[in-house]
Amino acid sequence: MKVFMRKLLVNNGLFAALVASFMAMTVPTCVFAQSADNSLDILFTIRDIRVDETATRASEARRTALAKAEQEAYFKLLRKLTQPEGRAKLPTVSARAIQTMISGIEVVNEQSSSRRYLATLNVRFEPGLVSQFLAEHDVPHVLGTGRGMLVLHAHAEGLHSVLWEHDAEVSAARSQVDWLNRIRQYVFPFGDMAERSRFTYEEASSLDTRDAKPLTVRYQVNSALIISSRWVVDGDRKALIYDYVSTDGDLLGHGAVENSSSEVHALVTMYDEVLDNIDSAWRAQLLVDTGEGGVLEVLVPSTEFPAYQKVLNQLAEVSLVGAVERLEIGLPFSKLRFPYTGRLDQLTLALRYAGLDISDYGEQKLLAPRPVSQN
């Protein structure tokens, strides 16, 4: 077992190099290597695990709490990295096996008495060991984090409606949702007067995205998630009806939470369902079959330098793409070559989410920015 573990640790170095190669475009080596490390740290760290255990001694309570935190973090990591059908392939893993994949536990804060232990923990997993474990069971997994999203939620109950205003039930529900340990990074707006005048409750409730996307620039994210919900009480029936849209990927959805114990509980359920659907759609274009890959040569329109540079910049956002080589620079097309990891259909989907279309051009491939109306 010790020999096997040493081999895995060696492979982890290769894994880190692989991820770094995805990010190597025109960025200096020291910069993209640091970016790869940061990306891996975000991706493989599960944050804000809260534990509260009581035992005959504080030391025993602490051991139990850490063991439960490790198991909870493991399941949250799988939910973050893989799709449900992939997780179904995995065997039951022992606590010992989970511990071998953990590289460290950060204690954010803790309190203890003679019998009780409370703490908030961040659990970091070793990327190479986790990747090897998933690959052994043929489970595709992501190698990069998703883009950030601005959350805009319009909610109504009877004649009362809110978008920017404080609402006790909405606030309580948001505090119970795990926003951190997701493949997408979610942010909420400040809600100042400029934002309130630019985007209204009526626009949000009708899922009108035209004025939502400009708000994202302030928060350095590229897309917005708009949710419209209504709490309905009709006799014995209590239900939360909701619709949502994301401004990237053209993802629309709707649902209903029936017979919930409270409005807060229904809102929590809604948030989880929406975030699962959004994250699942994004994971689908980030999933990597690590045993597959290839090298692609493409033509890129280059009659205008800004358009050509835009393609290069957008390629840099695609984690499946390795170092780009400029083969020819000319008019009306230039030619690029780059290695990629995963299947070609996975790469095509990843390029689409980055704002690029790849198509046949005679016997060659043409890579070009997607029309604005499709982004």
Domain boundaries, the chain: 2-142, 148-286, 293-374
Q: Give Cα 322 to chain centroid, integer Å.
A: 20
Question: Does the predicted model carry a pTM greater than 0.85?
Answer: no
Give the Cα separation of 66 and 71 in Å (integer). Answer: 9
**Amino acid 8: pLDDT:** 34
Report residue 298 as tokens.
Answer: 């493409």
Calculate ∠ Cα 121-127-130, nearest 5°: 90
Distance CA 102, CA 130 (A): 9
- Residue type present at position 288: V
pLDDT value at residue 169: 96
- pLDDT at residue 149, rounded to an integer: 94
What is the predicted pLDDT for the residue at 254?
Answer: 95
Given this model, what pLDDT does residue 289 score? Answer: 66
Which residues of the chain are under the pLDDT cut of 50?
1-37, 375
- Give me the chain's average pLDDT, please: 86
Question: Residue 133 in contact with residue 18, Cβ under 8 Å?
Answer: no
CA angle 138, 144, 146 (to 5 degrees): 115
CATH number for region 293-374: 3.30.70
Per-residue pLDDT of 125-149, as tens digits, reads 988 788 878 878 888 888 777 789 9
For position 370, what pLDDT does the model report? 82
Residue 187's DSSP bridge partners are 150
Beta carbons within 8 Å of 255's beta carbon, 6+ residues apart: 241, 242, 270, 273, 274
pLDDT reported for residue 372: 60
Topology given in CATH for the domain delimited by 148-286: Rossmann fold (3.40.50)
